[in-house]
Chain A
Amino acid sequence: MNDGGPGAGTGGAGGARGPMSSVKQTGAEFETILIRGYRPEIDRAQERVLSALERLGYPDASRFAVRLAMEEAITNAFHHGHKGLGPEDPIRLDFCAAPERVELIVEDQGPGFDPGAVPDPTKDENLEVPTGRGLLLMRAYMSEVEFNERGNRVRMVYRRPDLARGEGPAAAAAAEKTGDNSGC
């Protein structure tokens, strides 16, 4: 009955840049949101992801992890990616939330960067440097973090630890419910 049309999943409200949102038959929710460089827009976008996780029963620790990684990715996109662009130039957030897995893609319109060139902030000589920890936190809290070649798009995957594939009856139930693939 639900074929994944726009607005089917998360209410489809939102401002002039109304998001495309949907619920897949697997129970996954996905949405594309354009975010301009204003805090209320960032907060609204994050709230959509976090409320999807809440509906899917993710524990508090998972929502903490996803929120932190998402915050860092969005901040990086505006701060570094969009340096020289105005707040009206949006970044794009794609997310797909399934019962056992969340995927987030943050893409900016900047020239990209080389994530390998970011110094390790945990080295003694960098510990008192105030910046450069966003990437470390994204990698620490997410299961996968990968950039495109240009370095203007990051894809992050979070796997719900208590429902990881092949771990106990809950995982089997989740797999059965969602199919082998999560729908994301």
Chain B
Amino acid sequence: MAATSSRLRVRRDGDVTQVEFIDRNILDEANIQQIGEEISRLVDATPTPKLLVSFANVDHLSSAALGTLITINNKVKDRNGQLRLANIDPQIYEVFKITKLDRIFQIHETSEKAMASFQ
């Protein structure tokens, strides 16, 4: 079953919630806040969330977007859930490396690989 919210495409695959961004640029603070709220609601909807966030459409993001991802990661961890990131463009992956956030996020090349990593 597919549901569409204004900033995200959301899909359920078994017990995993897959999220894809609609925006190519995740820069606008109001949009980032909305994205954070929407994903938080998805995290809250299951007792132990399994969440896959795909960056397939994303060309640009800012440190504010990274902040929202960290907040989501903290929230997922608090609930003993699992968060995976996938399909990150090499330029954006570089941003994760510079900020050393590749150390706290589990990043996979493709959605398939990310899906296979859930326990």
Interface residue ranges, A against B (CB under 8 Å): 39, 60-61, 64, 67-68, 71-72, 75, 121-122, 127-131, 133-134, 136-137, 140
Residues of A contacting B66 in the complex (Cβ-Cβ under 8 angstroms): 130, 133
| Contact, CB under 8 Å: B29 / A75 | yes
Give A20 to B91 CA distance when docked, in angstroms: 32
Known contacts A39-B30, A128-B74, A140-B98, A134 near B103 by CB under 8 Å: no
| Contact, CB under 8 Å: A130 / B27 | no
Residue of A nearest to B60 (CB): A67
Residues of A contacting B104 in the complex (Cβ-Cβ under 8 angstroms): 127-128
| Contact, CB under 8 Å: B62 / A136 | no
**Chain B residues with a Cβ closer than 8 Å to the other chain, count:** 23
Give A68 to B61 CA distance when docked, in angstroms: 8
Q: Can you list 7 contacts pairing A with B, beta carbon distance less than 8 Å?
A: A39-B29, A60-B91, A75-B29, A75-B64, A127-B103, A128-B104, A130-B67
Distance between A174 CB and nearest chain B CB, rounded to angstroms: 24
Most buried by A among B62, B71, B91: B62
| Contact, CB under 8 Å: A130 / B62 | no
Residues of B contacting A60 in the complex (Cβ-Cβ under 8 angstroms): 91
Interface residue ranges, B against A (CB under 8 Å): 27-30, 60, 62-64, 66-68, 70-71, 73-74, 91, 95, 98-101, 103-104
Give A68 to B62 CA distance when docked, in angstroms: 7
Residue of B nearest to A137 (CB): B63
Known contacts A64-B91, A67-B60, A137-B63, A130 near B68 by CB under 8 Å: yes
Residue of B nearest to A37 (CB): B29
Distance between B1 CB and nearest chain A CB, rounded to angstroms: 31
Most buried by A among B27, B60, B63, B67: B63
| Contact, CB under 8 Å: B62 / A128 | no
Give A71 to B64 CA distance when docked, in angstroms: 10
Residue of A nearest to B91 (CB): A64
| Contact, CB under 8 Å: A127 / B60 | no
| Contact, CB under 8 Å: B30 / A133 | no
| Contact, CB under 8 Å: B95 / A39 | no
